[in-house]
Structure 1
Amino acid sequence: MHVALSDRIGVDLSRPARLEGGIVWATAHGVQYTDIQLDTEESAFTQFDDARTTRVRAAPEPDGMHLGFHTLSAESVTDYSRLRSEWAVLHVGYLFTSVVKPRMQAGLDRLQRIANYAGKRGVHILLENLNKEPTLAEVHYHAHIVEESLFYYERVGTQTFWPSFTANHAHLGPQEVAGFVYALPWESVTQVRLADCFRNGHNQYLPPNPEKLDFPNTFHGTEATGIISHYMNAFGPPANMPAARDTLATMAE
């Protein structure tokens, strides 16, 4: 069955959202794919005791809704599986120092442990490619170029570990969106994250503007791979993102 592109574009509600309210909001706006970050305030995973978890699980699940979480913590994977999450978007971790190889190996070991643990609980782990950092910054994100991304994608040996491609992060790097589209294992990509930013600029999450990131060519490249995954609007505020789904779908035509 054909699904309109606009219906495959979800909304990342990020940190401010309370899980219960986020589900209600997404349902009211006809959003079928929703990311919520459950690491802070009322939505920190430590706030989900048995009683609250039971209430979340007992609430009617809207038809066609797919829910995932964006997390900084591996410990929360257990709670995510209890909350009917289908996926958890993670980062490699180990962001400090310019000593690259030991950090990459430590990140790989961590991701393998998490993916194995999550797979037993029915949660898919999505690894996001990140933005570059200024040369003199203390933090050095992995993975922000194609080679770093493939290092992890090719070595975590589990069927529950998939790429999450963040187009605006790729737009900041030397290989641009096209380099990632050419190199990623698209048979495994399950999410493409969307926001705008200036080429070779700083990491920003701006509303889509084809004068910055080339969204038409981005969609042409990702759709040509035959992916059946979803997209995720990841720019704020949330109130602006449902309508942007139609704008982006028009750009893809």
Structure 2
Amino acid sequence: MFLTVQAGVQGVHMTLKERIGVDTGQKLSIAEAVEWAAENDVHYVDVCLDGGPIDPEQYTEEEVESIRETCAEADVSLGLHTLSAVNVAETSAHVDDAVDEYLRAYVDIGDMVGADRIIVHGGYHFTDDYEARVAASKARLTRALEYAADAEPDLFLENHNFEPDASEMHYVPVTLDEVTDYFDDLEADNLGWAFNPPHARQFPEDIDGYFEALGPDLCAEVRLNDNHGDVEEHLAPGEGDLDFDAMFQLIEGSGYDGHYMLAFGTLEDMLEGREYLLDQYSGMASV
């Protein structure tokens, strides 16, 4: 179902370093991001399009061809990352249609430029409307999966972060029960899991519990940053207390051969963070 990454796009075995990618967020356009990745020996790059118009017609044939050629020549796997501020659990008239259009535009652009994946979210609720929001979220993601069924990119659903109890707004899915429920209800050949260990460690099951429950077969991307396990933080590795060695031993030991995605700080911070993570993993000699 998902991109086979251990062998690489060009069929060459990939080291762990080559499997650690960079989420450029809204810092770069797609064309800029794949060029930057090629120049910095980064083989996986995710891009958020929300910094400008999300319109397939804004891309010329020359731009699309250039993006695809760069990815092929430099062995770069491209992903798109939707903005979590867009509420996939939207229920209000007019706005709900716009969210569907937003997701379809991501699929259309991803298919056009040769993206392998689109990271999506479940949205958020406001406590009293939990059931209605979750139902709307699942229905909308189902429509998006159906729309993307014949497109190049698969959709990867991310387990989101906990918000303090005093907050009226809360993301879904966040708990292990919610995440499991979403994947049970949304089962589709083009659906994968964007596993976020820093989010998982905010809950009693912790990183081990989430990964062991959902497994390496469903896991399609592992998103990395550091935190202290209590609130949402996007710290560079080493600035928090996440045990990256134990995390790598768990995930790599399961046979997972997919990619990791850094998401914190500047582009340079993430390149430095990649080196830090490689130093932390005691099993590096075997990969």
Query: Is the 2:124–2:169 contact (alpha carbons within 8 Å) kept by the matching residues of 1?
Result: no
Q: Partners in 2 of 1:53 and 1:132 — Cα distance?
A: 40
Aligned length: 248
Query: Is the 2:114–2:152 contact (alpha carbons within 8 Å) kept by the matching residues of 1?
Result: no
Counterpart position of 1:57: 64
1:22 to 2:52 alignment = no
Query: Is the 2:118–2:155 contact (alpha carbons within 8 Å) kept by the matching residues of 1?
Result: yes
- Would the alpha carbon gap of residues 113 and 198 (structure 1) be closer, same or farther in structure 2, given more than 3 Å must change? same
Query: Is the 1:70–1:89 contact (alpha carbons within 8 Å) kept by the matching residues of 2?
Result: yes
Name the stretch that deviates more: 162-171 or 240-249: 240-249
Residues 176-203 of structure 1: per-residue CA shift (max 9 Å, x gap): 2111122113212110000011121x21
- Secondary structure of 2:74's aligned partner: coil
Name the stretch that deviates more: 93-102 or 220-229: 93-102
TM-score normalised per structure 2: 0.81
Q: Percent identity?
A: 29
Matched letter for residue 213 of structure 1: L
Residues 151-180 of structure 1: per-residue CA shift (max 9 Å, x gap): 111221311000000111112223221111
1:12 to 2:23 alignment = yes
Q: Partners in 2 of 1:98 and 1:183 — Cα distance?
A: 29
Query: Is the 2:104–2:147 contact (alpha carbons within 8 Å) kept by the matching residues of 1?
Result: no
1:226 to 2:234 alignment = no
Superposed CA RMSD in Å reads: 1.7
- Secondary structure of 1:138's aligned partner: coil
Counterpart position of 2:151: 121
Counterpart position of 1:36: 47
1:145 to 2:175 alignment = yes
1:203 to 2:214 alignment = no
**Once the 2 structures are TM-superposed, how far is the Cα of residue 210 of structure 1 from its aligned partner?**
7.7
TM-score normalised per structure 1: 0.92
Counterpart position of 2:97: none
**Equivalent of 2:81, from 70, 94, 98?**
70
* Structure 1 residues without counterparts, runs of 5 or longer: none
Counterpart position of 2:241: 212
